[in-house]
Structure 1
Amino acid sequence: MPHPLIVPMTAHIALAAFLYVLLTVARAPAIWGIGRKDDGSNPWAGVEPRISANLSNQFEWPLFFHVACVLLIVRNDSGSWPLLLAWLFVAGRVLHSAVQIGTRNVRLRGLVFTVNFVAVLGLWAVMLVDASR
């Protein structure tokens, strides 16, 4: 049976894969002509840059999430706090993606990002506290 932290890590990877598919669909009218409007324009033109930016975001702060999880797995830490924080991070990433792609509300996006930020800091705090014992 895999370590419990593998599942939320895989969920985040699935989110990134979904965003790649969404970006491909959004770029299809411009790149391949598939789904163009009658006037030749791309119906996704307004949202495509936000999808692209969100996909890039999946390789910034989440890096620290994955590193913390790998270190916790190597230490064989399967406590409830790391798992709770990992799922909080994943839920925050999904919500962050929805806000960034679906709205232009930067303030809300910042608030949602704070969930991800705190969850990752929490994972590192758990690791440091356990390491000092």
Structure 2
Amino acid sequence: MGSSTAIFWPVIVQVALIHLVYFLLFSRRQAAVKAGRVRLSQLRDNVTEPEETRFLRNNLTNQFELPVLFIAGCIALYATGNAGPVAVALAWLFVASRLVHAFIHLTRHHHMRYRVPAFIAGYALNGLLWLWLAVNLAIV
């Protein structure tokens, strides 16, 4: 089948999303502290962190859950020579689902009605990516 370095472009976009969330969290925390709405000590944990920055922190936590499995899967697909067109398409679809999920979360539209389908789509696509790897490894 052959491996394509194209599998790394969706990974790069996912990593860029993680950096964006870090930037937004740092910027909003800094602004809240400067404006006196938040004490620095409140930012130590999720329990005392105010809502205006907690949703960003929660989103950042989300970026180190399912996306970690995605990144590992992409590396495994490439390393085993299975990063062909199907794998690349699944990777792009996964990243699209994560972008939608993050947009909903970061714009504070916390309606589970919208976030849950985006999460389920990403979860399913990640599962398919790993299934694709397993099937291809079993065939070889």
Between the two proteins, the alignment pairs up a number of residues equal to 124
Q: Quick one: which of 30, 37, 41 aligns to 2:37?
A: 41
Identify the structure with the greater helix proportion: 2
Q: Structure 2: where are the runs of 5+ without partners?
A: 39-49
1:70 correspondence with 2:75: yes
Considering only aligned residues, what root-mean-square deviation do their CA atoms show, in Å?
Answer: 1.6
| Distance in 1, Cα, partners of 2:99 & 2:81 | 27
Q: Structure 1: where are the runs of 5+ without partners?
A: none
Deviation above 2 Å: which 4+ runs of structure 1? none
TM-score scaled to structure 1, two decimals?
0.86
1:127 correspondence with 2:127: no
Q: How many percent identity over aligned positions?
A: 28
Contact 1:85 1:119 in 2 (8 A): yes
Contact 2:74 2:83 in 1 (8 A): no
* Residue identity opposite 1:101 in structure 2: L
1:1-133 equivalences in 2 (<5 Å): 3-31=5-33, 33=34, 36=35, 40-41=36-37, 46-102=51-107, 103-133=109-139
| Distance in 1, Cα, partners of 2:74 & 2:25 | 27
Higher relative CO (Cα under 8 Å, sequence separation at least 6) belongs to: 2
TM-score scaled to structure 2, two decimals?
0.82
Q: 1:97 to 1:47 in 2, by over 3 A?
A: farther
| Distance in 2, Cα, partners of 1:20 & 1:7 | 20
